[in-house]
A and B are shown apart, each in its own frame.
Chain A
Amino acid sequence: MTPKNIQFLILIIVSFLACAQDKNPVNNNHHYEVIVSELNNPWGFTFLPDGSMLINEKDGRIIHFKDNKKTEIANPPDIYLRGQGGLLDIELHPDYKTNGWIYFSYASSTGTGDGGNTAIMRAKLKDYALVDKQVLYKATPNTTRGQHFGSRIVFKDGYLFFTIGERGNRDENPQDLTRDGGKVYRLHDDGRIPEDNPFVNTKNAKTAIWSYGHRNPQGMKINPFTGDIWTHEHGPRGGDEINIIKKGANYGWPIITYGKNYSGTTITDQTEKEGMEQPLHYWDPSIAPSGMAFISSDTYGDWKGSILVGSLKFQYLDLCTLKDGKVVKEQRLLDGLGRVRSVEQGPDGYIYVGIENLGIVKLIRGQKNEN
C-alpha cells in the first residue's frame, strides 16, 4: 500500500469511528397535532376517565389538563431535583374508577445521607390537590449522583411493577440483590411485598426485586398481545436494549453488554453469558430511549402491533416493526421535533407523545390534508 492509500484508509476509519450515525429512515407519511402546548419536560402522563390528562413535569409540577385548560395540582410529592432526577412517572391503578389511587415515581431525598434516590408514592386526587399520600418504596442509599433513576411504572395482574436505574454505580448496584438500583421491582398495590417474589428467601436481599442486572430502564409497558412486561433501558454507548422481563432473571449489566464506555473504552468483552438474558433488541448507535407504547388500536392500520420508542438523543419517535417477537424494521416518526420523553396510547386509540420543550402531541398517520 502506498502512503497515500494508508492516509485515505485511516481517514475513512477515523471518520467512521467519529460519527456513528443513526441510519433509521425517516417516515414522512404522518403528521401531528399539538394537544398540550408549552410544557418543559413531560416525563410522564396519563388519562383520567373523564378525558382529562394528568401530566408530570420533571421540575415537580403536576398539571391537570382539560378543555384546553391547565390547572396545577397542589401538594405534589417533595422531590430531589438534580440531574436526571425530579418528578418522573405517573400511572393510574387499574381500578382507579373504584379506588382513586394514582401512582408516582420521583427522586426523593428522604432518609439519611446526602443526595437522593428513587421513590414510589400513591395518592388520591381531591379538589385539585393530592391527598392520602403514601410512600410505598424508597430506594437506598441516597447519593448525589445525577443519573439513572429509572422510574417507569406499570400494573400487571393487580401487581405494581416499577424500575430503578443503577444510580451511576454500576460496580456495586445492578448485580447485588442486597442493594437497590439496576432492578425491576414488584409490589402489591398497597406496597406490601408479595410472598412469591423471587428473592424473598435470599439472605439480606431487597425482597421487592423482580429482576436485576439493569442499567437505566426509562421505558416499560405490558405487551397487550402477550401480557409480557417489556422494558427498554439506556445502555452504555451502543448498548441500549429492549428486554422482556422474567421473574428472577439477570439481564447482565455490567457483566455483559453490547455497548462500550462513553469514552470508547471497553467495559467487558462479553456480550453473552450463561444465566444472563439476551436483549430482544439493542441499539448501536444508542438512541437514548425514553417512553414506550404498543400500538394496539386499529387507528394506525398496519402499524398495529408495532412499538413506539422515544429517542432523546436523536429527537424522534422510533417506530419499531415487530415480526415473530423481533424488531425487523425501524423508522423515524416526528423527526427532529424534540427530545421524545414519554409515549402513551390514549383511551381513544391515538398515540400521544410527550416532547421536551414542546408539549404533548397526537400522532396522526397519513399526510396532513391542506385543503
Chain B
Amino acid sequence: MKINFLIAIVVLLFLSCNSLDKKEVSKELSASIDAGQTVYQNFCLNCHMANGEGIEKVYPPLANSDYLKNNLEASIRATKYGLKGKIIVNGKVYNNVMAPMGLSDQEVADVMNYISNSWNNKNNTLITPEQVSKIQPK
C-alpha cells in the first residue's frame, strides 16, 4: 500500500512536469514548440511562471486554461499586440495589462504552439506565422 502510493505520487509528479505528449505531434509542430519554449523563457515566464501557473489575481494561468482553449484568436492577438482589461480565466477575473513584447510573427506562432501543448494544454493543429500575420488589433 505504502509503496503503491509512493509510486503513484512519483508517476503523477513526473507526468505533471512532463506534460508534452510528443507522440502525436508532427515534426513541424514539434520544432515550433521547441523554439517556442525559448521564447517563453525569455518573454513570458517572469509573469506566467515556469509551469504556466501564473500568479493568483494578478497574472492568469496558461496551464489548463479555458480561456486559451476557447479563445485561440484572442490569445494570439494578446501575444502579438498585448492585452488590456478584464478577462475571465478558469472562473477567476483578471484585470491587468500585458504590454506588447515586440515578438515577430514567427515567435508569436512558436510560443503559442509551445503554450498550447504544455501543462495539460493540447492543440495538434499547427499555428503558423501566416495565421498570426492576419490577426489585426481589435
A residues engaging B (CB < 8 A)? 3, 6-7, 10, 40-41, 58-59, 81-83, 85, 145-147, 168, 261-264, 288, 313-315, 336, 356-357
- Among B26-34, B38-46, B116-124, the one that faces the other chain is B38-46
Chain B nearest CB from A171 CB (Å) reads 14
Bound complex: CA A81 to CA B41 (Å)? 18
Contact of A147 with B42 in the complex, beta carbons under 8 Å? yes
Bound complex: CA A113 to CA B32 (Å)? 24
Contact of B45 with A262 in the complex, beta carbons under 8 Å? yes
Contact of B43 with A146 in the complex, beta carbons under 8 Å? yes
Bound complex: CA A296 to CA B125 (Å)? 58
Contact of B99 with A41 in the complex, beta carbons under 8 Å? yes
Query: Could you mark each residue 1-44 of chain B with 1 if its beta carbon is under 8 Å from any beta carbon of chain A, else 0?
Result: 11001100100000000000000000000000000000001110
Contact of B50 with A262 in the complex, beta carbons under 8 Å? yes
Which A-chain residue is minimally distant from B2 (CB atoms)?
A3
Bound complex: CA A41 to CA B100 (Å)? 12
Contact of A147 with B46 in the complex, beta carbons under 8 Å? yes
Bound complex: CA A263 to CA B46 (Å)? 11
B41: which A residues are within 8 A, CB to CB? Answer: 262
The one of A7, A41, A81, A356 in contact with B5, judged by C-beta atoms closer than 8 angstroms, is A7
Contact of B58 with A315 in the complex, beta carbons under 8 Å? yes
Contact of A83 with B42 in the complex, beta carbons under 8 Å? yes
Which B-chain residue is minimally distant from A11 (CB atoms)?
B9
The one of A6, A59, A168, A261 in contact with B2, judged by C-beta atoms closer than 8 angstroms, is A6
Chain A nearest CB from B38 CB (Å) reads 10
Bound complex: CA A204 to CA B97 (Å)? 43
Bound complex: CA A6 to CA B1 (Å)? 11
Contact of B97 with A40 in the complex, beta carbons under 8 Å? yes
Q: List 12 A-B contacts (CB under 8 A).
A: A6-B2, A6-B6, A59-B99, A82-B103, A83-B43, A146-B101, A147-B42, A168-B42, A262-B41, A262-B45, A313-B47, A356-B97
The one of B9, B58, B99, B103 in contact with A58, judged by C-beta atoms closer than 8 angstroms, is B99
